[in-house]
Amino acid sequence: EAEVAQSPRYKITEKSQAVAFWCDPISGHATLYWYRQILGQGPELLVQFQDESVVDDSQLPKDRFSAERLKGVDSTLKIQPAELGDSAMYLCASSFGEVNNEQFFGPGTRLTVL
């Protein structure tokens, strides 16, 4: 069964360092999402791609976060510099299309900032 892949699964870093997360969506899925899930809360959308284009990044803290999907397949989310409040689970999801299509989630990357 096709799955969304994410790496690393766990990342520990010190504040002010740079971190990067990688996501490989299910083959053929044009839409890719990055969510942040703070402990005890539900996931919140950070950025949405349709192919290589950003559809929605209104909740992405652009002073320190960046995301790219250069070839419209896999994607990287970067944080520079990391802050203590960035400690969370970062989830990637993909769907076949943009409207009314089920989103499939990866296992997530748990980030701890010390």
Partner 1 sequence: GNSVTQMEGPVTLSEEAFLTINCTYTATGYPSLFWYVQYPGEGLQLLLKATKADDKGSNKGFEATYRKETTSFHLEKGSVQVSDSAVYFCALSDQTGANNLFFGTGTRLTVIP
Residues that bind partner 1 (CB under 8 A): 4, 31, 33, 40-45, 48, 55-56, 91, 93, 95, 97-108
For residues 45 and 81, which CB has a smaller minimum distance to partner 1 in the complex? Answer: 45
Q: Return the residue matching tokens 């942040």.
A: 36
For residues 3 and 14, which CB has a smaller minimum distance to partner 1 in the complex? Answer: 3
DSSP H/E element including 19: strand 19-24
Say how far apart CA 104 and CA 94 lie, in whole Å.
5
Minimum distance of partner 1 from residue 65's CB (angstroms): 17
What string of H, E and C letters represents the secondary structure of 44-81? EEEEEEECCEEEECCCCCCCCEEEECCCCCCEEEEECC
Minimum distance of partner 1 from residue 110's CB (angstroms): 10
For residues 74 and 81, which CB has a smaller minimum distance to partner 1 in the complex? Answer: 74
Minimum distance of partner 1 from residue 42's CB (angstroms): 3
